[in-house]
């Protein structure tokens, strides 16, 4: 038998410059393990791994290999309680950085480790207060009405890379990708949302032009984004594995589990969810597995942030350990949680301090889109507007990610989520002038709030209907490039770009300071100021109603402030698609007795700068 590797350089496979590789796998129920390697013509050769004495790991080094060598483990399970020793178990490496496909027979690849260090783009992650996020789904971002021809309706990292300048032109400085880890798109006929990972360390093979290129092409995408000033945030699924084709299920032949869920070493005594089996985070090896996965993306791929899905479905002690380890090791990285401890169906513990004990930099404000829809429907307008604007008590407003127009959760529609709609569709569709005005209002307000603004792909072009990455016959709800920039979409694109650039040009909008100065329950108007210590002062007036005031006939309270003000933005301006709207273009307006008389359009956001 080979001796185990003496090199403490991680788990999985690692190719060395001398043309050999080290393999290491966690398999506490094994009595023996071989690694089988295939050469370019399909011939295979087996090499035994050895147990690292006193540990549940098996390893060997000095095994001949080259870049893109395919491999699998053959695990012999020791006899014992809950162990299936009746046959050898062929397993893909749980930490393979790329796999052929999502099936059980899909092999891992030995990748070139120099990809992570050679000719990389230098980039500095933005300060947390400077993130303006564009959320997108790789597999459905391109491919509809953009003259791309492909055999499956799933776009790739390369095709997304070619569209990055479009996103940057809208004034965003960060992209947040829905999950890119391998999630069975290849065996399901096309890209799903990505929230059912069969592999955590390997990216979706359909997102690559060919599976063995996935690591290189993801790195190229990240570097291309960085080269034009776009930070990259990835979405990680640590709360469960896939319902089907779960790579970790009974991994080493052990079948331990609870309540009819005999998942074995990666899942035993984990938290069962409707989405798939939770991980056994009470085990040190499983916590390290998840922590190393996050490190892979931050350290090696060099992404700028991570979003952790449904963090309430993970043991908070494990979350705290993982997050605080990452915060210490990568203090400049933006670590975001979807955290909903009030959901009784998924929560595993009592609510915790998301920023203190759990260690997140930010959380999604999951209430924000629903209350925005209520506001636009005339429900509790002033109360909900004031709550959306907030009291400016948090000196770190980037603690909240705000997405008033909706994230994928509000826009994705299928049998399990029958209420998914783009914001324009919720108010009559893109042909409806009110729907377009309300969509403009929502994003303009979002861009002026304290906190981190986020927009889901397509919203910037008044895309209506709903989003779904599946294509079935003539039913196609991927991003539609024919409509996104048409006569209705282009004005919204311009407004998104202009108000985003206002956020860049006025540091007051990225500061923690602000104050509500005016509320009008009768007419559904709220105004608030934003300022910074350098003297940048803005007044934002939000009108969520049908009324309209011309000839500077509406008085806005300034809470005693005076001076001269000039309108620099109006979401109802004709250039953005506003019709028969009023405004104050270029006017210098003087305050009188702490009030400012303005013209005010219906369903609008007006922004004034103090001169």
Residues catalogued as catalytic: 309, 338
DSSP-derived secondary structure for 300-352: IS--SEEEETTGGGS-HHHHHHHHHHHHHH-TTSEEEE---TT-TTT--SS--
Q: What is the DSSP string of 270-313?
A: --EETTEEPP-TTSHHHHHHHHHHHHIIIIIS--SEEEETTGGG
> Is 207 within 8 Å of 199 (Cβ atoms)?
no
Nearest to 51 by CA among 16, 69, 78: 78
The structure tokens listed for 182 are 């391998």
Alpha carbon distance 262, 277 (integer Å): 10
Task: DSSP letter for 131, please.
Answer: -
- What is d(CA 114, CA 57) in angstroms, rounded to the nearest whole number? 26
C-alpha 434/C-alpha 569 separation (Å) is 19
Q: How far is CA 572 from CA 24, 500, 604, in A?
A: 61, 16, 6
Residues listed for the chain: 611
Backbone phi, then psi, for 137, in 5-degree steps? -115, 120
Angle between helices 214-227 and 157-169 (to 10 degrees): 10
In sequence order, which ranges of 449-583 are alpha helices (DSSP H)? 489-505
Strands 133-136 and 452-456, by their bridges, are parallel
- The answer to whether the beta carbons of residues 234 and 240 sit under 8 Å apart is no
Q: How many CB atoms lie within 10 A of CB 367?
A: 13
């Amino acid at each position: 038998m080979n001796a185990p590797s003496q090199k403490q350089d991680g788990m999985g496979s690692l190719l060395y410059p001398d043309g050999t590789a080290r393999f290491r796998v966690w398999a506490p129920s094994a009595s023996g393990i071989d690694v089988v390697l295939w050469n370019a013509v399909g011939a295979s050769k087996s090499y035994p791994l050895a147990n690292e004495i006193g540990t549940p790991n098996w390893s060997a080094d000095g095994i001949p290999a080259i870049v893109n060598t395919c491999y699998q483990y053959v695990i012999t399970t020791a006899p014992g309680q809950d162990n299936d020793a009746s046959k050898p178990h062929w397993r893909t490496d749980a930490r393979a950085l790329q796999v052929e496909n999502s099936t059980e027979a899909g092999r891992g690849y030995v990748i070139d480790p120099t990809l992570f260090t050679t000719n990389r783009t230098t980039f500095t992650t933005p300060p947390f207060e400077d993130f303006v996020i564009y959320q997108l789904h790789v597999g459905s971002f391109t491919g509809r009405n953009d003259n791309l021809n492909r055999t499956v309706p799933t776009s790739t990292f390369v095709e997304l890379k070619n569209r990055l300048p479009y996103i940057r032109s809208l004034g965003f400085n960060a992209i947040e990708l829905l999950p890119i880890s391998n999630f069975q798109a290849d065996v399901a006929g096309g890209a799903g949302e990505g929230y059912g990972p069969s592999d955590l360390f390997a990216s979706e093979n359909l997102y690559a032009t060919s599976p063995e290129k996935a690591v290189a092409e993801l790195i190229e995408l990240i570097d291309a984004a960085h080269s034009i000033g776009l930070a990259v945030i990835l979405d990680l699924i640590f709360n469960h594995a896939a319902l089907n084709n779960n790579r970790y299920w009974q991994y080493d032949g052990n079948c331990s589990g609870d309540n009819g869920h005999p998942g074995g070493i990666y899942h035993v005594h984990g938290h069962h969810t409707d989405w798939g089996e939770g991980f056994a985070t009470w085990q040190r090896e499983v916590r390290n597995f998840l922590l190393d996965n996050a490190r892979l993306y931050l350290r090696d791929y060099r992404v700028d942030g991570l979003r952790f899905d449904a963090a309430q479905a993970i043991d908070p002690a494990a979350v705290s350990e993982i997050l605080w380890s990452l915060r210490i090791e990568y203090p400049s990285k933006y670590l975001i949680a979807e955290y909903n401890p009030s959901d009784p169906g998924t929560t595993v513990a009592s609510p915790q301090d998301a920023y203190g004990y759990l260690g997140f930099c930010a959380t999604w404000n999951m209430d924000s889109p629903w209350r925005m829809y209520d506001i636009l429907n005339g429900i509790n307008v002033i109360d909900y507007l004031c709550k959306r604007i907030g009291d400016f008590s948090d000196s770190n407003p980037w603690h909240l990610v705000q997405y008033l127009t909706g994230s994928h959760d509000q826009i994705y529609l299928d049998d399990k989520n029958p209420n998914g709609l783009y914001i324009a569709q919720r108010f009559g569709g893109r042909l409806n002038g009110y729907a377009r005005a309300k969509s403009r209002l929502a994003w303009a307000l979002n861009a002026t709030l304290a906190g981190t603004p986020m927009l889901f792909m397509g919203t910037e072009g008044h895309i209506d209907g709903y989003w779904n990455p599946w294509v079935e016959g003539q039913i196609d709800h991927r991003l539609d490039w024919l409509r996104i920039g048409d006569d209705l979409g282009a004005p919204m694109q311009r407004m998104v770009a202009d108000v985003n650039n206002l956020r860049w040009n006025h540091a007051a909008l990225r500061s923690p300071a602000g104050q509500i100065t005016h509320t009008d329950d009768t007419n559904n108007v709220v105004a608030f100021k934003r300022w910074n210590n350098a003297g940048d002062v803005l007044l934002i007036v939000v009108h969520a109603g049908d009324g309209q005031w011309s000839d500077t006939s509406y008085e806005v309270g300034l809470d005693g402030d005076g001076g001269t003000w000039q309108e620099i933005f109006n979401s109802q301006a004709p250039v953005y698609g506003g019709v028969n709207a009023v405004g104050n273009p270029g006017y210098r307006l003087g305050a009188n007795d702490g009030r400012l008389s303005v013209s005010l359009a219906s369903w609008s956001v007006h922004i004034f700068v103090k001169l």
